[in-house]
Amino acid sequence: MIAASIQDYRELARTRLPRFLFEYADGGAYAEETLRRNVTDLRSVVLKQRVLRDVSAIELSTRLLGMKFALPVALGPIGLAGMYARRGEVQAARAAEAKGVPFTLSTVGACSIGEVCAGAKKPFWFQLYMMRDRAFMRDLLALADEAKCSALVFTVDMPIPGTRYRDYHSGLAGAAGWQGQIRHVLQAMIRPGWAWDVGVLGGPHTLGNVAPILRGKTGIEDFFAWMRANFDPSVTWDDLAWVRDSWKGPLIVKGVLDPEDANMAAKIGADGIVVSNHGGRQLDGVLATARALPAIAERLRGSKLVIFADGGVRSGLDVVRMLALGAQAVLLGRAWIYALGASGQGGVEHVLDLIESEMRVAMALTGITRVCDINSEILA
């Protein structure tokens, strides 16, 4: 198959990856209603086509948080991304670098901060959760600072992990010990390309940033056990104020769906928020991002807080829709992990090229030539 869209990359990833990895990226919580609504509600946003306007010079770059983006997008954090291609986070960081957009390394990525720093030429963003072990958090913040990470993306919508049925069906969750390992090996054996590139040549298969405290426990089941044991359900806005005091660079709070929570993020001194429901992977049945975004943008009108959004973005047209609904930039999730799983760094670069091309068409046909001019006036 020749990939002409993000959906094509999804299909290519499905045929290349072991089932447990594809389902982990593709699935959502419970019955996956929010996951589906993220896509369908965004697609239902209708644009207003305009004609006979000079759209010969379209400018897609934007400047946010003191940084220039070639496109109003960033690669959002995805756990275990390094398992989707050989040292996958490094490949994704290089792709983002080549296309002039930020890459965000997950706390629970396969590659460590140091490895990505060594493999990339420009600073990247680092994503962090609130964990019970504050000393370990300080160590990670120090490593991010030492690596000159240009922003901290702090995820707040995961005090406890959501339940994803697909992970149990595929054997990623719930199958401990040798039984789980056998299932993973059998699934890998029928994907020989992945088995050689990642399974054999892509080690070490650990969580690079948390490996030091796992003390040799490196299996997939250890990943989930560590998450359950270390994420802190007692976290409050006071704890986030501690993070703000500990991190001197730009702070982006990820996982906001309510206008009042957006207001609280502004009060504690955050520089940005991500309007997000964790890709439909946490609480099923909540608002799709496209539904939650306008009210939050209205509440923050006049604020200096930068509004990012994620969830359901599958094209450059969807990026334009998110901007029209009130975002200033978009975090990509499944869009880039599908491409990474299908074709590595080249696939991620191609997805960013597709988004750029599709944005140009959408902007031209709505009569807009600059990203900063995209607003609700282009909605029908």
Q: Please write the tens of the pLDDT for every residue from 309-322.
A: 999 999 999 999 99
In contact, 312 and 42? CB cutoff 8 Å: yes
pLDDT score of 133:
84
Q: What is the CA radius of gyration of the chain?
A: 20
The answer to whether residue 56 is domain-embedded is yes
pLDDT score of 209:
87
Q: Which residue has the higher pLDDT, 235 or 58?
A: 58
CATH number (domain holding residue 355): 3.20.20.70
Compute φ and ψ for 17, nearest 5 degrees. Answer: -90, 150
What letter does residue 126 receive in the DSSP assignment? Answer: E
How many Å apart are CA 348 and CA 78, to the nearest integer? 14
Average pLDDT over residues 57-81: 96
Average pLDDT over residues 327-348: 98
Per-residue pLDDT band for 184 (boundaries 50, 70, 90) equals confident
Per-residue pLDDT band for 243 (boundaries 50, 70, 90) equals very high
- CB neighbour list of residue 215: distance below 8 Å, 6 or more residues apart: none
Q: Please write the tens of the pLDDT for every residue from 255-310.
A: 999 999 999 999 999 999 999 999 999 999 999 999 999 999 999 999 999 999 99
The answer to whether residue 224 is domain-embedded is yes
| Whether the predicted pLDDT of 149 surpasses 70 | yes
DSSP per position, 151-206:
EEEEE-S-SSPPP-HHHHHHTSSS--HHHHHHHHHHHHHT-HHHIIIIIITS---S
pLDDT score of 151:
98
Average pLDDT over residues 81-91: 97
How many Å apart are CA 329 and CA 323, to the nearest integer? 7
pLDDT score of 134:
87
The answer to whether residue 231 is domain-embedded is yes
pLDDT score of 178:
64
How many Å apart are CA 128 and CA 109, to the nearest integer? 11
Q: How many residues does this entry show for the chain?
A: 380
> What 3-state DSSP class applies to 209?
coil
In contact, 286 and 34? CB cutoff 8 Å: yes
| Whether the predicted pLDDT of 218 surpasses 60 | no
Per cent of the chain over pLDDT 90 is: 81
Q: Number of structural domains, the chain?
A: 1
pLDDT score of 210:
81
Average pLDDT along the chain: 93
pLDDT score of 132:
85
**Does the annotation mark 205 as catalytic?**
no
Domain that holds residue 180: 6-378
pLDDT score of 185:
82
pLDDT score of 230:
78
| Least reliable range by pLDDT among 220-229, 258-267, 328-337 | 220-229
| Whether the predicted pLDDT of 224 surpasses 70 | no
pLDDT score of 208:
86
How many Å apart are CA 313 and CA 204, to the nearest integer? 31
> What 3-state DSSP class applies to 273?
strand
| Whether the predicted pLDDT of 213 surpasses 80 | no
| Whether the predicted pLDDT of 174 surpasses 70 | no
Q: Which residue has the higher pLDDT, 223 or 259?
A: 259
| Least reliable range by pLDDT among 20-34, 167-181, 255-269, 311-325 | 167-181
| Whether the predicted pLDDT of 356 surpasses 60 | yes
pLDDT score of 69:
96
Average pLDDT over residues 191-220: 82
The answer to whether residue 1 is domain-embedded is no
Per-residue pLDDT band for 104 (boundaries 50, 70, 90) equals very high
Catalytic residue among 169, 205, 278, 350: 278
In contact, 160 and 260? CB cutoff 8 Å: no
